[in-house]
Amino acid sequence: MVAVCPTRPAYPVRVTTVLLIRHGRSHANAQGLLAGRTETALDDTGRTQAEQLAQRLSDVPFDLVVSSPQLRARQTAEIVVAGRAEARIDDAFAECDYGDWSGSALSELATEPTWEIVQWLPSAAEFPAGETMAQMAHRATHGVPRLVKENPDSIIWVVSHGDVIKAILADALGMHLDHFQRIVVDTASVSIVHYTPKRPFVERINDTGGIRLARKAPESDGEAVVGGRTAQ
């Protein structure tokens, strides 16, 4: 006897697209420092990166723009939206609180015992007088579904930081936090994730070229295309 599957009722899939935007280069980035939550502004290169990013995103719509509270993210958001909107500050996407590591040279931090934990077992990393990497990942990965729930069927731009974006992407890819260092997120890059009721679909990671949203994010029923999606 052949089993017959019941007909699935047709219904429109609610898709919320999230653009994860890393801020442009800051003075701390240029000096090889771990900025953390210290206030460091975009340098000239960072402003140029943000201006170029604004051009790349000029044809990409949005319904909401949120930003980390850190200055470099707020400056990037302001430049990127180019007067089309005002970014809403959301602490869920704040930079990781690196505690006593904040403002230190990365070359010096690389000699610290905790550095190896951050590299190979980040879920166990705890920054002195700061937060744990797991705490950062928890607030960021819970911040996105909150935005998705509050803004269904929309396009949201999130301007944030490297480790925060990597944590969100790792979660969307079903990766354990201990593997998130395999992901690269450059300054002024864009990563795109489509969130559906069934699963997220990661469309782009660390894109620094022209941005064009797919006409149709996942398939109409929210399921993956077996064999791969045809280019649009």
pLDDT tens per residue, range 112-141: 999 999 999 999 999 999 999 999 999 999
Q: What is the spatial distance between Cα 214 and Cα 34, in angstroms, rounded to a whole number?
A: 35
pLDDT of residue 231: 45
Q: Which residue has the tokens 């403002």?
A: 103
Tokens representing residue 60 in the block = 């990409």
Q: Are strands 200-207 and 190-195 parallel, antiparallel or unpaired?
A: antiparallel
Alpha carbon 164 to chain centroid, angstroms: 6
Alpha carbon 112 to chain centroid, angstroms: 27
pLDDT of residue 230: 40
Q: What is the spatial distance between Cα 227 and Cα 232, in angstroms, rounded to a whole number?
A: 15
10: burial class by Cβ within 10 Å (0-12, 13-18, 19+)?
exposed
Domain boundaries, the chain: 16-207
Tokens representing residue 146 in the block = 């909150």
Which CATH class name applies to 16-207? alpha beta
Of 225, 159, 152, 223, give the one whose Cα is nearest residue 191: 159
pLDDT of residue 212: 65
pLDDT of residue 209: 82
Q: Which residue has the tokens 């599957």?
A: 5
Tokens representing residue 91 in the block = 């602490």
Residues 6+ apart with CB under 8 A from 103: 28, 33, 34, 35, 36, 38
Q: What is the spatial distance between Cα 202 and Cα 191, in angstroms, rounded to a whole number?
A: 8
Which parts of the chain have pLDDT scores under 50? 1-11, 215, 220, 225-232
Q: Provide the β-strand partners of residue 109.
A: none
Report the length, in residues, of the chain.
232
Question: What's the chain's average pLDDT?
Answer: 88
